[in-house]
Amino acid sequence: MDVRQELLRRFAAPLPEYYTRRIVVFRDDQGGFTADVEQMELPDVRILIMRENEWFTLRRQIESDYAQENILLYCPREFERWQDNWLADVFKYSEEFRADYWSLLFEELHIADGVKTRRYAQSVGRFFASRERVAKLGALKSDYRTEQELKIGVMSVLCGLKSVSFPDVIGAVVLGMHEEENEKLKAIGKFCGEDAFWLLVEGAFGYTGQRDAGELACYLLTSAAWLNAPEDAFAGLPGASDYAQQAYALFTKWPHTDREALLETCHAVEERYPIAARLQRLERAELMRVSVYPCVDALLIRTTLTAFAQNSMNVDEVQEMMQARRELPWWGLYAPYADVLGALCDMQLFARAYREGFHFTDAEEMFAAYASRLYRMDAAYRHVCVAADQALTLGLFALEDELKAAMQAAERLYKNGYLAPLGVCWSALLAGQTLETALAIVPRQERFYAEHVRGEDARTFVIISDALRYDVAQELTERLHGRLSGNTVCTAMVGTIPTITPVGMAALLPHKKLALTEELSVLCDGMRTDAGNREAVLRAACPQSTALELGVFRRMTRAQR
């Protein structure tokens, strides 16, 4: 760049409003242009050079002797402190000009040009040698006002971040601990020096341990976990309770950055350090408040399963725990186990409600009780079984023994605390009378067509699901009620004995009389009722009827349907 031509351009530019002259301060910290300036001539511009012990002379010339002239004030030195510059006020109301590489770079990136920022930029000159890295630094932030901001900006570029953020820089280094060679940390060390990153971490989080990403991960995660843990919870492990607040704020950002990498990091720290052993010493109430490490949730689940197996589970405490842990980072990892706990709570609550057994005055009262509430024990036990099967597919071997013990206890509770006493009560109420007599006013399966299909004004669709449990039907009703705009109602009927598929299917068809042949085929008014003949039975009562198997219906086109 031609310095003289650039200065001529500056002085030829229109003056700002209310200005009568232009003063340009030529900053040249190394004094490299001194000889050029001493010989330089600029039309209509007075050139003054700042020299030691001439401060008062210069001020008199600027403010009095040459008060009406344009001035180029050449400053061939730098000031450690702003107050050391006796012409600081002149610098403030004047325009600044620099001609060296760093000045132009700082102007391009909007970096505040000061002694510290310039010194730092020069110390990491290898970073600025790449136009690609320079462009990325400029794109990350609109300006860099301090040396600290510039340092973090450089590291953010080296870590491939999309914004200038020291927490994200630490996250990139810590979450990169699983790489064979931590590329982010390696890049920072190459361009910024090995001390740069660790000094920043020490200043922000007090870390003075080994320069190892794994130990740093333990330090930060444990410090974060200390926020809600007792003072001696992690004694002897890398971590600092004094920095718990700062570390936890850092931790909360990481799940949004790379959740999988954070989980892998947490597991790696749990394997490398005795985290779980420390946490096992805590009381349940203390452990409930701790987060950060996934093993906390595993410990809570294990102790809860054990308590159920030993018949000492406190339902209220478990429900409170599940509510509190639901919003924490790692509870979702154990979702099937959480479902098991929820269903075990339901079983326990049912058992608590009927701990005195089942007492009804007649069979109809008991039938109504089952249809409205007793079925919930069947639903809870089914939920336990389904969730346990899903939990076992996770391969969390540390929890499987406790899960199996809890399942055995659940089965004992279901059989001995529900099925057996319920069966005894039912048999006692039916003693000496037929089912028809005992449940005279209860709807019956064989009257289904007459009461729900015949005589309907609109088309009626009947979906028959063989051996569908009543508790499943109730759950399906609840789900449909939330999804569909119409009304969804679940009602119960007394099944036809024997409760086998051929008899049940035939009972749903229109008929006046059911009969059983010697070949054990069921007839409706003399017509066969096996799969190929059901449509004929329907059409005998209503010609616009049809009967289809699900597979056939699925293969139909829309027009055929």
Per-residue pLDDT tens for 352-364? 999 999 999 999 9
Q: How far is CA 480 from CA 343, 379, 387, 465, 477, in A?
A: 21, 17, 22, 16, 5
Count of alpha carbons within 13 angstroms of residue 299, beta-carbon side: 22
State the pLDDT at residue 32.
Answer: 74
Higher-confidence residue of 422 and 128: namely 422
Cα separation, 426 vs 15, in Å, equals 103
State the pLDDT at residue 149.
Answer: 94
pLDDT grade for 41, boundaries at 50, 70 and 90: very high
Q: Which of 276, 272, 291 has its CA nearest to residue 178?
A: 272
Cα separation, 178 vs 160, in Å, equals 17
Burial state string for 130-151 with b = 16 or more CB within 10 A and e = fewer than 16: eeebbebbbebbeebeebebbb
Give every strand in the sheet of 95-97, ordered side by side.
45-49, 70-75, 23-27, 95-97
Give residue 203's Cα distance to chain centre: 29
The structure tokens 């036809």 sit at: 496
Cα separation, 399 vs 338, in Å, equals 12
Burial state string for 56-75 with b = 16 or more CB within 10 A and e = fewer than 16: eebeebbeeeeeeebbbbbb
Per-residue pLDDT tens for 369-413? 999 999 999 999 999 999 999 999 999 999 999 999 999 999 999
Whether 339 has a pLDDT exceeding 80, the answer reads yes
Whether 197 has a pLDDT exceeding 60, the answer reads yes
Cα separation, 81 vs 307, in Å, equals 68
Higher-confidence residue of 384 and 327: namely 384
State the pLDDT at residue 450.
Answer: 93
Structure tokens at 86: 């006796």
The helix (run of H) or strand (run of E) holding residue 24 is: strand 23-27
The DSSP 8-state label assigned to residue 494 in this structure reads: B
Per-residue pLDDT tens for 408-466? 999 999 999 999 999 999 999 999 898 889 999 999 999 999 999 998 888 899 999 98
Whether 1 has a pLDDT exceeding 70, the answer reads no
Whether 259 has a pLDDT exceeding 70, the answer reads yes
Cα separation, 242 vs 422, in Å, equals 59
Burial state string for 243-277 with b = 16 or more CB within 10 A and e = fewer than 16: bbebbbebbeebeeeeeebbbebbeebbeebebbe
Cα separation, 462 vs 464, in Å, equals 6
Whether 283 has a pLDDT exceeding 80, the answer reads yes
State the pLDDT at residue 470.
Answer: 95
CB 294 within 8 A of CB 333: yes
State the pLDDT at residue 34.
Answer: 85
Q: Which residues pair with 63 in a beta bridge?
A: none
CB 220 within 8 A of CB 170: yes
pLDDT grade for 487, boundaries at 50, 70 and 90: confident
pLDDT grade for 269, boundaries at 50, 70 and 90: very high
The helix (run of H) or strand (run of E) holding residue 368 is: helix 363-369
Per-residue pLDDT tens for 527-561? 999 888 999 999 999 999 999 999 999 999 999 98
Whether 139 has a pLDDT exceeding 60, the answer reads yes
Cα separation, 155 vs 207, in Å, equals 18
CB within 8 Å of 502: residues ≥ 6 apart: 520, 521, 522, 529, 530
Establish whether the linkage from the previous residue to 76 is cis, with ω within 30° of 0. Answer: no
Cα separation, 192 vs 203, in Å, equals 17
CB 220 within 8 A of CB 251: yes
- Strand, coil or helix: what is 134? helix
Q: What is the mean pLDDT of the chain?
A: 91
DSSP line for 278-332: HHHTS-HHHHHT--SSHHHHHHHHHHHHHHHHTT---HHHHHHHHHHHTTSTTGG
CB 390 within 8 A of CB 364: no
State the pLDDT at residue 485.
Answer: 79
